[in-house]
Amino acid sequence: MAATGLLMSSNLSIEASNQINECAETSPYPSMLINLQASMTTEEKIGQMSQFFSHGEYISEHLAESIRQGRVGSVLNEVRLHTVNELQRLAVEESRLGIPLLVGRDVIHGFNTIFPIPLGQAASWCSETVKQCARISALEAATVGVNWTFAPMIDISRDPRWGRIAESLGEDPHLCSVLGVAMVEGFQGDALHKDGNIAACAKHFAGYGAGESGRDYSTVNIPENELRNVYLPPFKAVADAGVATFMSAFNDLNGVPASGNKWLMTDILRQEWNYPGFVVSDWESIQQLTTHGFSKDNKDAAYEAANAGIDMEMVSTTYLDHLPDLLAQGHISIQQVDTAVTKILQLKWQLGLFDSPYTDASMLPVPLNPEHLQIAKDAAIKSCVLLKNENNILPLSAESLHSIAIIGPLADDPYEQLGTWIFDGDSQYSQTCLQAIEQLLLGQVSIKHVKAMQTSRSYNQADFKQAVDSASAADVAVLILGEESILSGEAHCRAEIGLPGCQEQLIDAIAQTGTPIVLVIMAGRPLTIEDILPKVDAVLFAWHPGTMGGPAIADLLFGKAYPSGKLPVTFPRKVGQVPIYYAQKHSGKPATEATYVHMDDIPVRSPQTSLGMAATHLDTHFSPLFPFGFGLSYTQFHYQNLEISSKTLHLGETLTIKVLLTNTGKIEGEEVVQLYIRDLVGSVTRPVKELKDFKRVKLAAGESDYITFDLCTDKLAFYDRNMQLNIEAGQFHLWVGGCSQTGLRDEFEIIDD
Ligand code: NOJ
């Protein structure tokens, strides 16, 4: 929330303010709010349910007047401190009841200091890192009076064509839940009213990541069982962790748009989960109920949304325009409005806004300070995933190199390394790979930089010759390629997900020189890089690494740091495999190596049933290019002595799993030890593997350690065909390893007596 107020609200007495301090966060609904709500007119209540868009040096007269009239509960996208304080002053001093404003902003992966995109942060598999990034994001955003962020985005994302996969925490319900909770804890701290804490928002409820063919905003059809077992668990996890708000999604879900979906917003969120916070619509998504063809006009849209349980309307004004009539005509009850208003006022109370509506930035750390930058660098280091390292070409040794060619449109572009959703980031603070490598090598090695392409999308090969010449003359070519920021994020979806423009031709040209190639890829999504792999010696996947991406990558390339990221999402070989994810169902005809036939190997006029008859494609292998959980290190880890505490378990018992992990290489490293299970027979079919736990472990060269997991049978529950959450007795397989496709295996049985 805002730091201690500079000005006291004229509408609050000193006694009232002291009283608020005493009961801040202790009372479910303080008497001061009961009295306040009792004195509100219907119009003022509907005003609290309305969020206005503000962005500019000057506050429009329309906005100022709306605030004075009590028609505004929240503003979004205003980040000028003096303007935010003036907006609060208008609300607190010039409106009849002096109710302060919620000030919202998309603080997605940093405010001024930009951290790796959320998908990159997820690749760290490190709750502490994710929490720290959110913590600093909150501290920096709070300096300008922002008290509410629209994050975390916890939409399960299994389609890399979808631009917003960049903003997600990946494909897996468990990883997404754990890291989503870490983000909420980072934003909200231990109490919302403390300086530098801001309210978080779980979005987009629900199913937004499963739009048809990866197109943003498109139709989503998810059977209820799949929705409950895969898409809803992260939302339930953050609800249980106390996330302050939810946001409804743009998409229609099984025919009912989320922003008018009573089953989602009321039956599940409020009744099943007892969620006490409020739900804000996405941007104009209530008005869009009409565009969806779900409501006949805006009045009908307001009715559907209010009736579904959407408490606050973002940007469109169907509530302001139509709730008075809907109330007067008895379609909506005043109790429904009161329920929404109570939750909104309560959050303002919890944030301490009635006591301190104004922001004094001097109470908070200065954005972009060295500590924030260091944490951004550490996060970028942990998020990079080493996908290939032929003959241990990495780390490069400065001592044994004379010259290095640094090639590519993203090598020295301070903006494009930041990624999507960086409204408040400033690329002048970015440190690029070229800058960082130059600084690290300090003249020890000759560096030749050639941009080669103006942008990642360029088809102009005019500068290729210069790039090839520089690579020919160098001991190693470091290619820094990928996608520029605009190619991922909201509404930025792609049908093909290879390297854009003529980057593949650039790799071909450099490969012909024979100079070893280290490829660094910055991107907002998994890319189809199968054809490129044989042409390069190493691939470091850096996502969009943020402000400190350059120093992080330089340290990794030259061994000042070691890679430890693991993929939070499966990399397909070909886009036609999408959706491809590790936790797929087995199917009745699973693909196997023994039966797999590639189309090039099919004899002419083969009979229809002569092939493997399995769930796969003819023109690509059924496996992914890189599986979920995969990532190399500069050292090697050996797993042995898997032990489980029992071969049989009764409901409610806990299985202890122990494995001996050894760093068998010559340098220190960090491994993410992953625990997967398979429930062999279920009343609904179960995934071939499910992540249940993970631990990040640091080991010195030669060091061993026993890693243990406690797996309570509760973690094996799933929604059955009657949509009941149950643990079903039977056989389970269990794996412990460094990725979803490898690991030591054991078995156990759950007995229900
Ligand atoms: C639309 C996006 O879908 C949502 O995630 C974001 O928070 C809002 N706009 C506000 O900018």
Q: Is the distance from the beta carbon of residue 203 to the nearest atom of ligand 1 less than 6 Å?
A: yes
Ligand 1 nearest atom to the CA of residue 104, by list position: 10
Q: Is the distance from the beta carbon of residue 217 to the nearest atom of ligand 1 less than 6 Å?
A: no
**pLDDT at position 14, please?**
28
Dist. CA 105 → ligand 1 center (Å): 9
> Is residue 466 very low, low, confident or very high in pLDDT (cuts 50, 70, 90)?
very high
Residue type, 570: T
**pLDDT at position 27, please?**
53
What lies within 8 Å, CB to CB, of 39 at 6+ separation is 97
Q: Is the distance from the beta carbon of residue 205 to the nearest atom of ligand 1 less than 6 Å?
A: no
Ligand 1 nearest atom to the CA of residue 204, by list position: 5
Among 89, 100, 45, 90, smallest CA distance to 71 is for 45
Q: Which residues pair with residue 266 across a beta bridge?
A: none
For 83-93, what is each residue's pLDDT tens digit? Answer: 999 999 999 99
Dist. CA 149 → ligand 1 center (Å): 10
User: Which strands sit side by side in the sheet containing 245-248, from one edge to the other?
Assistant: 201-205, 245-248, 278-280
The residue written with tokens 């030591």 in the block is: 744
Percent of the residues in the chain that have a pLDDT greater than 90, as a whole number: 94
| Cα separation values, 541 from 433, 532, 545, 630, 649, Å | 14, 13, 10, 12, 41
Residues of the chain with CATH 3.20.20.300: 43-360
**pLDDT at position 16, please?**
34
**Distance (Å, whole) CA 226 – CA 224:** 5
Q: Is the distance from the beta carbon of residue 390 to the nearest atom of ligand 1 less than 6 Å?
A: no
Residue 391, pLDDT above cutoff 70:
yes
Ligand 1 nearest atom to the CA of residue 201, by list position: 7
Q: Is the distance from the beta carbon of residue 167 to the nearest atom of ligand 1 less than 6 Å?
A: no
Task: Write down how long the chain is.
Answer: 753
In this structure, which residue's CA is closest to atom 4 in ligand 1? 282
Pocket test for ligand 1, best of 203, 251, 284, 315 (most atoms within 8 A of CB): 203
Q: Classify domain 637-751 by CATH architecture.
A: Sandwich (2.60)
Dist. CA 512 → ligand 1 center (Å): 45
| Cα separation values, 455 from 451, 460, 481, 502, Å | 9, 10, 10, 10
Among 547, 467, 545, 533, smallest CA distance to 506 is for 467
For 438-459, what is each residue's pLDDT tens digit? Answer: 999 998 999 999 999 999 999 9
**pLDDT at position 609, please?**
86
Q: Is the distance from the beta carbon of residue 703 to the nearest atom of ligand 1 less than 6 Å?
A: no
User: What's the half-sphere exposure (Cβ side, CA atoms, 13 Å) at 184?
Assistant: 24
Q: Is the distance from the beta carbon of residue 354 to the nearest atom of ligand 1 less than 6 Å?
A: no
Structure token pair of residue 57: 């040096």
Q: Is the distance from the beta carbon of residue 490 to the nearest atom of ligand 1 less than 6 Å?
A: yes
Dist. CA 283 → ligand 1 center (Å): 6
> Is residue 6 very low, low, confident or very high in pLDDT (cuts 50, 70, 90)?
very low
Residue 193, pLDDT above cutoff 80:
yes
Residues of the chain with CATH 2.60.40.10: 637-751
Dist. CA 324 → ligand 1 center (Å): 27
Ligand 1 nearest atom to the CA of residue 203, by list position: 5
Segment 515-527 shows an average pLDDT of: 99
Top CATH class, 372-557: alpha beta
> Is residue 58 very low, low, confident or very high in pLDDT (cuts 50, 70, 90)?
confident
**Distance (Å, whole) CA 518 – CA 525:** 20
In this structure, which residue's CA is closest to atom 11 in ligand 1? 106
Average pLDDT over the chain, rounded to an integer: 95
For 10-37, what is each residue's pLDDT tens digit? Answer: 333 223 333 333 334 445 789 999 999 9
In this structure, which residue's CA is closest to atom 3 in ligand 1? 282
533: phi then psi, degrees, rounded to nearest 5: -50, -45
Q: Is the distance from the beta carbon of residue 155 to the nearest atom of ligand 1 less than 6 Å?
A: no
Q: Is the distance from the beta carbon of residue 105 to the nearest atom of ligand 1 less than 6 Å?
A: no
What lies within 8 Å, CB to CB, of 236 at 6+ separation is 177, 273
Dist. CA 238 → ligand 1 center (Å): 19
Dist. CA 375 → ligand 1 center (Å): 26
Top CATH class, 43-360: alpha beta
Percent of the residues in the chain that have a pLDDT greater than 70, as a whole number: 96
For 397-409, what is each residue's pLDDT tens digit? Answer: 999 999 999 999 9
Residue 57, pLDDT above cutoff 80:
no
Pocket test for ligand 1, best of 282, 315, 421 (most atoms within 8 A of CB): 282
> Is residue 187 very low, low, confident or very high in pLDDT (cuts 50, 70, 90)?
very high
What angle separates helix 31-38 from helix 14-23, to the nearest 10 degrees?
Answer: 130
Dist. CA 457 → ligand 1 center (Å): 26
Q: Is the distance from the beta carbon of residue 246 to the nearest atom of ligand 1 less than 6 Å?
A: no
**Distance (Å, whole) CA 265 – CA 253:** 12
For 550-569, what is each residue's pLDDT tens digit? Answer: 999 999 999 999 999 999 99
**pLDDT at position 9, please?**
32
Among 259, 299, 311, smallest CA distance to 282 is for 259
In this structure, which residue's CA is closest to atom 7 in ligand 1? 150
Q: Is the distance from the beta carbon of residue 360 to the nearest atom of ligand 1 less than 6 Å?
A: no
**pLDDT at position 54, please?**
86
For 145-173, what is each residue's pLDDT tens digit? Answer: 999 999 999 999 999 999 999 999 999 99
For 602-653, what is each residue's pLDDT tens digit? Answer: 999 999 988 889 999 999 999 999 999 999 999 999 999 999 999 999 999 9
> Is residue 55 very low, low, confident or very high in pLDDT (cuts 50, 70, 90)?
confident
**pLDDT at position 612, please?**
87
Structure token pair of residue 493: 């979806």
Residue 412, pLDDT above cutoff 70:
yes
Dist. CA 48 → ligand 1 center (Å): 19
- Known catalytic residues are 282
Q: Is the distance from the beta carbon of residue 164 to the nearest atom of ligand 1 less than 6 Å?
A: no
- Are the beta carbons of 107 and 99 closer than 8 angstroms? no
Segment 523-550 shows an average pLDDT of: 98
Ligand 1 nearest atom to the CA of residue 153, by list position: 5
Q: State the pTM of this model.
A: 0.96
